[in-house]
Amino acid sequence: MKKVSIIGAGNVGANAAFYIGEKNFADVMLVDVVEGRAKGKALDLMEAAPVRYYDARIEGTDDIADIAGSEVVVITAGHVRKPQMSRLDLLETNAKVIDPIIPQIKQHAPEATIINITEPVDALTCYIWKKGKFDPKKVVGMTGVLDTTRFREFISKELQVSTANTTAVVIGGHHDFMVIIPRYASVEGIPITQLLPQEKIDNLIKRTRAAGSEILSYLKTATAHYAPAAALAEIVEAIIKDSKRMLCVSACLQGEYDVKDLCLGVPAIIGAKGVEKVVELQLTIEERQQFEESVTVIKNAVDTLEI
């Protein structure tokens, strides 16, 4: 079975390991700097295997060298937001957390596709790519998959339909400047613009943008982890199975959407080679303006980092 390593055995990392294990498509190596944390959680997860019927092996370690042989390396390490904080407030702090991880991945798993979930996702995905001089196609940020699944849930609840019948597209950054395009959101192919009045669509968009903060306001000392972990597992599965899924991810753009050397959320074909193709949407003038605002926010954040 192929191997996936998850650096950071906190709530997102451990739940992602569980989702991957239950889908039985890869073995998982959980890595954490806190002695015993990854080993303890991995042991707990494996003791659930007989009743959850998975044969994938989940192991834990505090030695990052154990990521060797991984097809995919996920970075979930870093600090999480507190109430009233924005994602960008974590930029410098989490860049310092990721700094020593980058050369370790380069050394022990140089061929792996890297998926970053550490906030702020888009800026730090760009940081990882440039700092490590990785192939841009092999570095992915987990943004749009989470944002689209949240939007799809809210659409489903509003229209009282199955979430399985919903689709959505979210581009730009994973923050207040995400660009949610209603005409690309649908229920069984019917655009929500034909099913809902504009006022309700605007409310759904507003709630999607604030979804992470809404959860944080309830939890106080923790952020969302079940939905991010599930979204993460979706990307990992597409890579491991080479399934050519079209997913909204933070891709390292090389001229697409007239953006170069920056990572932003866009729809892309995801397979064994990572981001195999960026899909360029035809944007309206208003959508293009919103996207460019997002580009500016991420670029300014990246420019503050020393790369």
What is the Cα–Cα distance from 176 to 161, expressed in whole angstroms?
A: 27
Length of the chain: 307
What is the Cα–Cα distance from 39 to 31, expressed in whole angstroms?
A: 8
301: its two tokens: 């954040």
Q: Whose structure tokens read 């990246």?
A: 302
- Backbone dihedral region of 206: left (phi > 0), alpha (psi from -120 to 50 degrees) or beta? alpha
Burial of 207 (0-12, 13-18, 19+ CB in 10 A): middle
Q: CA distances (Å), 50 to each of 29, 38, 44, 226, in order? A: 19, 20, 12, 22
Other C-beta atoms within 10 Å of 19: how many? 18
Longest dimension (CA), the chain: 54
In the residue annotation, 225 being an active-site residue is answered as no
Strand partners, 170: 180
End-to-end CA distance of the chain: 36
Annotate 197-263 with DSSP letters as a single string: -HHHHHHHHHHHHTHHHHHHHHHSS----HHHHHHHHHHHHHHHTT--EEEEEEEEEESGGG-EEEE
Other C-beta atoms within 10 Å of 281: how many? 16
Helix (H) or strand (E) holding 169: none
Q: Which of 108, 174, 175, 225 is catalytic?
A: 174
Q: Which residues are catalytic?
A: 174
